[in-house]
Structure 1
Amino acid sequence: MTATTELKNIISEENVVYKKTSVLLDNEMHYCPGCTHGVIHKAIAEVIDEMGIQEKTVGVSPVGCSVLAYNYLDIDWQQAAHGRAPALATATSRLMPDKYVFTYQGDGDLASIGCAEIMHACNRGESIVVFFVNNAIYGMTGGQMAPTTLEGQVTATSPYGRDCHTTGFPMKMSEMVAMLPGTRFVTRESAETPGAVRKLKKAIRKGFENTREDKGISFIEIVGTCSSGWKMSPVQSNVWMKENMFPYYPLGTLKDE
């Protein structure tokens, strides 16, 4: 068996389909090797392309590692101040109710400086989709402790591990927003395997479809890795994520109305 044949068999066994989409631009991404952002970008791009809503989609990019998301997806974009993406998405959705509006935010952007913004947007039940990437650390600014950093996790600002007695406990944002009456769909996914990506794409499609029914916000959390911030290889990062993050941030749908 040739190497090419063996690779084709592996792809067939995993049911992986590599699609070229007009939504995903042919630009070299700036993300670190092993970063989950690139996979999530591709999943969002494929769903937008499959739904045929490229001309009707508006993204709101954050401050953080994914601040340049507009360089990779060929849709209309707006740039929000740190943590203010839900407010900007609210205005966009209300002014243009025929658009599919989403925010793309990290844990520092959404759960720290933007905590009030996301809580009130969810409580109001805005017709938007929120993509919340949780890698338990501030990636862009040097690997500091984030609101989602696990107890005992070492970061640049918690060199001896997070001490919950002095810094509080890791925030479970999905569980928090699921309790609000304005949220319609709340799920926590991942993107480390082909199977996980397929589940993520189903959640993305459901979120976009929900915006047309004007019945509340769709909140999609994606547990990801940060190889640079965690000081691990991409392979080690995936193992650490499964062994440490998944138990505290369990995958699955928390709310679906």
Structure 2
Amino acid sequence: FFLNNTNYGMTGGQMAPTSMPGQKTTSSQNGRDVETQGYPIRVSEMFSKLDGASYIVRRSLHDPKNIRMAKKAIRMAFETQVRGLGFSMVELLSICPTNWGMTPKNSIQWLEDKMIPYYPLGDYKIHPALAEIKL
């Protein structure tokens, strides 16, 4: 499981590999400069190319509908492991109001307006045997 809130929130809000272009953090106070700091890593897209990966999805935790979808994805990841089908990874987009310097409401809006277009929600790799499973 990979919680993507675009910063290292537990250690003070430093720039993370997933920090957005132009996003300000404690270690990128002028915003992430892709010319000097590179582009963000799209983790689900990268992991979906790995041999042995069987269940790679990106979900979000910004509203009830998406939280329900995230719960199903987490259950499916465990089911994938139990069946021995290969590696699973669920990326979860999440807010970080404190380190983003926003209210929770504004953080949710920023996730919807900025993060989801850059990190599209969806299924990146699904093993064919998982199609028969209904959760």
TM-score of the two chains, using structure 1 as the length reference: 0.49
Structure 1 position 145, deviation (Å) = 0.7
Could you tell me which residue of structure 1 aligns to residue 133 of structure 2?
none
Q: Runs of 4 or more off by more than 6 Å in structure 1?
A: none
The correspondence for 2:43, drawn from 173, 183, 193, is 173
Residue 137 of structure 1 aligns to which amino acid in structure 2?
A: N
Point out which structure has higher relative CO (alpha carbons under 8 A, 6+ apart).
2
Could you tell me which residue of structure 1 aligns to residue 22 of structure 2?
152
Secondary structure (helix, strand or coil) at the match of 1:150 reads coil
Secondary structure (helix, strand or coil) at the match of 1:222 reads strand
Unaligned runs of 5+ in 1: 1-130
Could you tell me which residue of structure 2 aligns to residue 183 of structure 1?
53
1:79-137 deviations in whole A, cap 9, x for unaligned? Answer: xxxxxxxxxxxxxxxxxxxxxxxxxxxxxxxxxxxxxxxxxxxxxxxxxxxx1000001
1:141-181 deviations in whole A, cap 9, x for unaligned? Answer: 11111110000011111111110111111001110010011
* 8 A Cα contact 2:62 2:111, kept in partner: no
Secondary structure (helix, strand or coil) at the match of 2:8 reads coil
Unaligned runs of 5+ in 2: 128-135
Could you tell me which residue of structure 2 aligns to residue 250 of structure 1?
120
The correspondence for 1:230, drawn from 100, 105, 116, is 100
Residue 150 of structure 1 aligns to which amino acid in structure 2?
A: M
TM-score of the two chains, using structure 2 as the length reference: 0.91
CA RMSD, 1 decimal: 0.8
Percent identity at matched positions? 46
Could you tell me which residue of structure 2 aligns to residue 204 of structure 1?
74
The correspondence for 1:219, drawn from 60, 81, 89, is 89
Could you tell me which residue of structure 1 aligns to residue 4 of structure 2?
134
Max radius of gyration: which structure?
1
Residue 203 of structure 1 aligns to which amino acid in structure 2?
A: A
